[in-house]
Structure 1
Amino acid sequence: MNSPHEPVVYLVDDDDAVREALAFLLRTVGLKVESFPDGPALLMALRPQDLGCLLLDIRMPQVSGLQLQAQLQARGSDLPVIIMTGHGNVDLCRRAFQQGAIDFLEKPVDETVLLEAVQRAIQAHRRQRDHLAVHAAARQRLSRLSDREREVLAGVMNGETSKQSARVLGISARTVETHRASVFQKLEVRSLAELMRVYLNVAETSP
């Protein structure tokens, strides 16, 4: 089983010779590669939790690279997609990018260009996963707050003093201070700046 921190390059190409050559190239730089002759084989083996990227040929029997890209998108896959083709044109390139591809490479693919594209894709995916982890941690902390503590937190975010929040909420300023202290403790922050960061991390991902 793969480590969640070990990137995997999922390679899909119906040409056996091309697939084997590309897999060999990627492995020479230490990348883990899982290769497939077609889209259905990939979909059977894909592990959404894996870190890495998808390297898809555009012209394949059964399911084309663009169709496979759309299916992956519908499944909620967040793996970055690199499209390869030996028959590139503006329309195919535009469609690939509209569907979220991060690169479009023409065959025969230059080895350096390919490796750089794959490394960029993996790094982009790593940053995305790290970003989501930060937001998830912030949401988990905020879920600890009571309804009253959330109201007090909203007042802090609006720049209210304890007395102002007390008037708005109909409670004493001392009670507001007690709730504020509890908010800081539950959110595991020690400054207003840290509190703001946690709050904004959740606000960025709220619908």
Structure 2
Amino acid sequence: MAMLEPTVYLVDDDEAVRDALAFLLGTVGLRTEVFSDGVALQDSLNPDAVGCLLLDIRMPHVSGLQVQEALQAQGVDLPVIIMTGHGNVDLCRRAFRQGAVDFLEKPVDETVLLETVQGAIRQQLSKRERAEATVQAQACLARLTEREREVLHGLMEGQTSKQTARALGISSRTIETHRASLFEKLEVGSLAQLMRKYLSVVDSKPGPP
């Protein structure tokens, strides 16, 4: 699937603010889509969108925090930057509890805004890359035979080929054959790479409730 172009989704009920911020973001090459309210954003937002959400907290009908909460419930993983001209500790706390990456008070410092937005986009791109790598690793692991999984387990436990051979009741040469097959199927060239790929899958699994 082709990567979508990183976009800043700007939601503010003040047209002058929308125009000014969209222009500022454009000066550093950032694509921007603007919305006057959260409902319009939710109606048009692609769930797989890449970029970040720049969200005013006080708007008619639906507040920024309500928009943030609704998108979170829908599984949208856009980093959220909250903006407000009426900040207080409670609003800030609620925003961060809902996963906001930053909370900026208006008038927003231009340099701070650009750095925050660019950092949020890099954060999401990195997160998407890790998720894709995990999916690929899971697909590779799914191709292993039961015996190859047993050999892999021995490797992850730090066993030598001889130790694994004794545990499985097969020859060391057979273990080496399975090990070579492991490296080929998992598309790695070293034990360190093998461990990283294996752990990326193990670490992605949810723990016990």
Report the CA distance between 1:182 and its aligned residue. Answer: 1.1
Q: Distance in 2 between matches of 1:174 and 1:118?
A: 55
Report the CA distance between 1:5 and its aligned residue. Answer: 5.1
Aligned residue in 2 for 1:143: 142
Report the CA distance between 1:42 and its aligned residue. Answer: 0.6
Report the CA distance between 1:151 and its aligned residue. Answer: 1.1
Report the CA distance between 1:140 and its aligned residue. Answer: 1.8
Aligned residue in 1 for 2:61: 62
Report the CA distance between 1:23 and its aligned residue. Answer: 1.4
How big is each residue's C-alpha offset from its partner over 1:2-32, in whole Å with a ceiling of 9 and x where there is no partner? x725210001111122112211221222111
Q: Which runs of 4+ in 1 moved over 4 A?
A: none
Gaps of at least 5 residues in structure 1 are: none
Q: Distance in 2 between matches of 1:156 and 1:26?
A: 49
Q: Distance in 2 between matches of 1:4 and 1:186?
A: 26
Q: Distance in 2 between matches of 1:112 and 1:160?
A: 53
The residue identity in structure 2 corresponding to 1:157 is M
Aligned residue in 2 for 1:157: 156
Aligned residue in 2 for 1:81: 80
The residue identity in structure 1 corresponding to 2:62 is V
The 5 A counterparts of 1:1-207 are 4=3, 6-207=5-206
Gaps of at least 5 residues in structure 2 are: none
SS of equivalent residue, structure 1 residue 206? coil
CA contact (8 A) 1:4 1:49 kept: no
Report the CA distance between 1:198 and its aligned residue. Answer: 1.3
SS of equivalent residue, structure 1 residue 9? strand
SS of equivalent residue, structure 2 residue 196? helix
Report the CA distance between 1:47 and its aligned residue. Answer: 1.4
How big is each residue's C-alpha offset from its partner over 1:22-79, in whole Å with a ceiling of 9 and x where there is no partner? 1122122211111111111111111132221000000112211011111111111111
Question: Normalized against structure 1, the TM-score is what?
Answer: 0.92
SS of equivalent residue, structure 1 residue 189? coil
Question: Normalized against structure 2, the TM-score is what?
Answer: 0.91
Q: Distance in 2 between matches of 1:168 and 1:63?
A: 62
How big is each residue's C-alpha offset from its partner over 1:144-201, in whole Å with a ceiling of 9 and x where there is no partner? 1112211110011111222322232233333322211211111112221121121122
